[in-house]
Amino acid sequence: MNNTTTTRKVAIVGYNRIPFARANTAYSNVGNQDMMVAALNGLIDKYHLQEKLLGEVAGGAVIKHTYDNNLIRECVMKTALDPATPACDLQQACDTGIESAVYIANKIALGQIDCGIAGGVDSISDIPMAMSENLRKILLEARQAKSLGGRIKSFLKIRPKDLVPLVPRNEESQTGLSMGGHTEVTAKYYKISREDQDQFALRSHLNMAKAYDEGFFDDMITPFNGLEKDNNLRKDSTMEKLAKLNPAFDKVNGTLTAGNSTPLSDGASCILLASEEWAKEQGLPILAYITFAEIAAIEYVKKQQNLLLAPLFAASRMLEKAGLNLQDFDYYEIHEAFAAQTLATLKIWESPELSTELGLKKTLGAIDREKLNVKGSSLAAAHPFAATGGRIIGVMAKLLNEKGSGRGLVSICAAGGQGVTMIIEK
DSSP of 384-412: -GGGHHHHHHHHHHHHHHHHSS-EEEEEE
Q: Single out the catalytic residue among 75, 115, 270, 413.
A: 413
Are the beta carbons of 63 and 122 closer than 8 angstroms? yes
What letter represents residue 136's amino acid? R
88 is catalytic: no
270: annotated active-site residue: no
C-alpha to C-alpha distance for 424 and 11, rounded to whole angstroms: 9
d(CA 269, CA 38): 9
- b/e map 304-333, b = 16+ CB within 10 Å: bbbbbbbbbbbbbbbbeebebebeebbbbb
For residues 381 and 391, the answer to whether their CB atoms sit within 8 Å is yes
Q: Which of 182, 205, 335, 383 is an active site residue?
A: 383
3-state secondary structure (DSSP) of residue 219: coil
**What DSSP designation does 301 have?**
S
Kind of pairing between the strands at 288-297 and 418-425: antiparallel
What are residue 10's DSSP bridge partners? Answer: 275, 290
Which one from 94, 115, 182, 270 is the annotated catalytic residue? 94
Helix (H, G, I), strand (E, B) or coil at 179: helix
DSSP 240-257: HHHHTSPBSSSTTT---B
**Among this protein's residues, is 383 annotated catalytic?**
yes
Active site residue ranges? 94, 383, 413
